[in-house]
Amino acid sequence: MHWTIYLSGEIHTDWRDQIRAGAEARDLPVTFVSPVTDHPASDAAGDVLGKPDNGFWRDHQSSKVNGIRTKSLIENCDIAIIRFGDQYKQWNAAFDAGYCAALGRPYITLHGEDIVHPLKEVDASAMAWAQSPEQVVDVLEYVTIKA
């Protein structure tokens, strides 16, 4: 089985690159997919359709365009990794976790110990909580190729 892994959440650190590099180094049978991680491009995703003056509707339009991508990727993935960093609200990451939970798509959270308490509902539906990209790679290795 080849596995598709969706990398959701924080876009301001290089955690995705670390996981990709780790998986490549161990030759895991995985393909990684992710939302658009270029922040300005993501905010402007819908502008090509005509940029609304009103901030709410501009965000709305762009978020729906982004949703075409993220919704499809989540529904087609085998595992999601959901990353919470130490800044920003990151409600979209928690939203993705809830979406995965309802679909029965297994996900692993990746976050520091300091935010364990506010993330308790998100972690309660997760299959694992990792604190580092390396731990994520270890779990992926076990899950995908351990004989």
Q: Give the binding range for a second copy (CB under 8 A) out of 10-18, 21-29, 36-44.
A: 36-44
Does 19 bind a second copy (CB under 8 A)? Our answer is: no
| CA dihedral sign of residues 6, 16, 66, 111 | positive
118: tokens are 């506010």
Number of chain positions touching a second copy (CB under 8 A) = 81
Give me the amino acid identity at 20. R
Does the footprint of a second copy cover residue 26 (CB under 8 A)?
A: no
Q: Among 21, 76, 86, 112, which residue sits at the site for a second copy (rule: CB under 8 A)?
A: 76
Task: Please count the CA atoms within 13 angstroms of the CA of 81 that sit on its side-chain side.
Answer: 32
The minimum distance between CB 36 and a second copy, in angstroms, equals 5
Q: Does 33 bind a second copy (CB under 8 A)?
A: yes
d(CA 63, CA 43): 8
Q: Which is nearer to a second copy, 24 or 121 (CB)?
A: 121
Element (H, E) at 82: strand 79-83
- 30 touches a second copy (CB under 8 A): no
Distance of alpha carbon 33 from alpha carbon 91, whole angstroms: 20
Q: Are 29 and 1 in contact (CB under 8 A)?
A: yes
**Which 84-113 residues touch a second copy, going by CB under 8 A?**
84, 88-104, 106, 108, 113
Member of 61, 81, 83, 133 binding a second copy (CB under 8 A)? 61
* Nearer to a second copy (CB atom), residue 2 or residue 27: 2
Does 29 bind a second copy (CB under 8 A)? Our answer is no
Beta strands at 30-33 and 107-110: parallel, antiparallel or unpaired: unpaired
